[in-house]
């Protein structure tokens, strides 16, 4: 258990940077979100499933008007394999849960949302994470 606090701090730091960059990209250039995903990423948005960013973008994001996300909070949880303790420098999955409000286009009404991500170490680019699973829901 001695390794949990440093690993949690790393997860928190990485998640904060991820959340800031992800929603900035989503609001300014949604097509560029492909950088966060792979062809095998599994995404569920409001109950509809997609495999890979291309399918998610063309069927779910592209038809939407521009967005403006306001993140109200997030949590990050490092996920060590088999609950084994890991040193803070070891790559591990990170579960990120985000809540906030989003406004689409020129509508006045903002909608609450929840967004969960499973960030996984990228085997092709050591030291980086990608979204292996994501779930988005308007509340």
Average pLDDT, the chain: 89
**Number of CB atoms found within 10 A of residue 53's CB:** 21
pLDDT, tens digit, 9 for 90 and up, residues 30-46: 999 999 999 999 999 99
Q: What is the mean pLDDT of residues 90-106?
A: 90
- Mean pLDDT for 71-94 is 76
Confidence of residue 18 (pLDDT cuts 50, 70, 90): very high
CB 50 within 8 A of CB 62: no
E strand or H helix at 8: helix 4-28
The dihedral through the CA atoms of 11, 17, 21, 23 has a sign that is positive
The distance from CA 126 to its chain's CA centroid, rounded to whole angstroms, is 19
Q: Are 32 and 57 in contact (CB under 8 A)?
A: no
The reported pLDDT for the residue numbered 5 is 58
**Confidence (pTM):** 0.87
> What is the spatial distance between Cα 23 and Cα 16, in angstroms, rounded to a whole number?
11
DSSP secondary structure letters along 38-58: EEEEEEEETTEEEESHHHHII
pLDDT at 11 (0 to 100): 86
Confidence check: pLDDT of 3 > 60: no
* 60: CB partners within 8 A, 6+ apart: 43, 45, 48, 50
Domains of the chain: 4-138 (3.10.450.50)
Task: Reply yes or no on whether the pLDDT at 108 is more than 90.
Answer: no
């Amino acid at each position: 258990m001695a390794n949990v606090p440093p690993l949690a701090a790393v997860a928190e730091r990485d998640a904060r940077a991820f959340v800031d960059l992800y929603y900035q990209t989503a609001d300014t250039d949604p097509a560029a979100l492909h950088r966060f995903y792979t062809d095998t990423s599994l995404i569920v948005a409001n109950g509809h499933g997609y495999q890979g960013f291309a399918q998610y973008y063309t069927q779910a994001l592209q038809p939407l008007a521009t967005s403006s996300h306001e993140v109200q909070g997030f949590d990050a949880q490092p996920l060590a394999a088999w609950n084994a303790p890991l040193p803070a420098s070891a790559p591990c999955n990170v579960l990120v849960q985000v809540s906030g409000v989003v406004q689409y286009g020129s509508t006045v009404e903002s909608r609450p949302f929840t967004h969960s991500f499973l960030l996984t170490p990228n085997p092709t680019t050591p030291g980086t994470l990608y979204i292996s699973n994501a779930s988005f829901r308007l509340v």
